[in-house]
């Protein structure tokens, strides 16, 4: 599945790239205010689960921006808060304190209906476990969120997504008739199908062999570079992180470091340094 083979499609928004830059925390919000250069922003984000003896601080005042048209990887040890951060940023979980914004929209200011609509229209989420409906075909799974919303898919875009992820011959298959890699590609295609503002992918290659994983990663990078998509991806794999434009590192619910233009070697080196620090502290 060479991503380059996809039909040429106009970039999502050329302004998306040119407007990248630091965002002001005091910038006006709302539909008429200037658009934030960040696709998603966390400011002092805290998430606490449980209370008393079971109290767990999953996120401890995390501030981070995910730039438009950027591919960001989130890394960190198991339990460091990576999935929690993605869930809070995608409006799938509430925050305990601080702020989570998609574009200029403050998620905690939305009621349930508004939040559902924002998740449906602006956010694509690739779950690690695929979350495909077994009774629907690949094609039906891909368009399900739009079908629920009563929206007609953009055929040309959909054809591009399907041919780029290499699913054209599998559209009438049900998940059980697809390999793990093909199911993962359906999940990625579903997240991309409606061209959301931002795609969050929680270990999208975690269960794949390196060949299938490389296909998904190449496609995600292609969608960012060529189509202006914004992608935030959790991964444990330095090679996968090497596809991203930037890596942010979490430890114990805090943002500890970041790396621009990462290479697998650079990421590995940074991870080794964390390990050494953890052992000596």
Ligand X SMILES: Nc1ncnc2c1ncn2[C@@H]1O[C@H](COP(=O)(O)OP(=O)(O)OP(=O)(O)O)[C@@H](O)[C@H]1O
Kindly give, in sequence order, each residue whose CB lies less than 8 Å from that of residue 133, ignoring residues fewer than 6 positions away: 140, 141, 144, 175
Q: Which two tokens stand for residue 172?
A: 């009438």
76 counts as binding ligand X under rule CB under 6 A: yes
Take residue 220 and report the two structure tokens written for it. Answer: 């995600």
80 is an interface residue for Mg ion by CB under 5 A: no
Work out whether 41 is an interface residue with Mg ion (CB under 5 A): no
Give the interface segment with ligand X, choosing from 22-30, 77-85, 110-118, 150-158 (CB under 6 A). 77-85
Q: Is 83 in the site for Mg ion (CB under 5 A)?
A: yes
Which two tokens mark 58?
């999953």
In this structure, what token pair is assigned to residue 68?
């438009």
Print the binding letters for residues 55-74 with Mg ion: x by CB under 5 A, - otherwise: --------------------
Q: Binding residues for ligand X, how many (CB under 6 A)?
A: 12
Note whether 78 binds ligand X by CB under 6 A: yes
CB 235 within 8 A of CB 248: no
Is residue 126 within 8 A of residue 202, CB to CB? The reply is: yes
Name the residue nearer to Mg ion (CB basis): 197 or 203. Answer: 203
Q: Are 28 and 103 in contact, with CB atoms under 8 Å apart?
A: no
235 binds Mg ion (CB under 5 A): no
Residue 76 binds which entry of Mg ion, ligand X, none, with Cβ cut-offs from 5 to 8 Å by kind?
Answer: ligand X
Q: Is 182 helix (H, G, I), strand (E, B) or coil?
A: helix
82 binds ligand X (CB under 6 A): yes
Helix (H, G, I), strand (E, B) or coil at 93: coil
- Regarding 81 and contact with ligand X (CB under 6 A), the answer is yes
Residues contributing to the site for ligand X (CB under 6 A) = 49-50, 56, 58, 76, 78-84
């Amino acid at each position: 599945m060479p991503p380059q083979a996809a039909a040429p499609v106009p970039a999502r928004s050329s302004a998306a790239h040119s407007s990248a830059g630091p965002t002001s925390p005091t910038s006006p919000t709302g539909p008429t205010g200037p658009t934030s250069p960040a696709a998603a922003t966390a400011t002092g984000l805290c998430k606490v689960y449980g209370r008393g003896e079971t109290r767990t601080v999953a996120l401890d005042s995390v501030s981070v921006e995910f730039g438009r048209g950027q591919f960001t990887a989130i890394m960190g040890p198991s339990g460091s808060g990576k999935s929690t951060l993605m869930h809070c940023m995608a409006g799938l979980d509430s925050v305990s304190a601080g702020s989570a914004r998609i574009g200029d929209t403050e998620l905690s200011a939305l009621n349930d209906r508004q939040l559902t609509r924002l998740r449906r229209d602006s956010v694509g989420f690739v779950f690690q476990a695929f979350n495909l409906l077994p009774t629907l075909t690949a094609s039906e799974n891909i368009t399900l969120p739009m079908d629920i919303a009563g929206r007609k898919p953009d055929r040309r875009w959909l054809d591009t997504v399907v041919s780029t992820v290499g699913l054209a011959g599998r559209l009438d298959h049900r998940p059980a008739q697809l390999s793990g890699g093909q199911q993962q590609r359906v999940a990625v295609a579903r997240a991309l199908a409606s061209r959301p503002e931002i795609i969050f992918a929680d270990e999208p290659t975690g269960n794949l062999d390196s060949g299938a994983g490389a296909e998904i990663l190449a496609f995600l990078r292609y969608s960012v570079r060529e189509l202006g998509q914004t992608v935030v991806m959790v991964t444990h794999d330095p090679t996968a992180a090497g596809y991203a434009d930037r890596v942010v590192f979490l430890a114990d619910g805090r943002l500890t470091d970041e790396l621009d233009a990462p290479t697998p070697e650079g990421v590995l080196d940074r991870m080794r340094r964390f390990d050494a620090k953890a052992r000596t502290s």
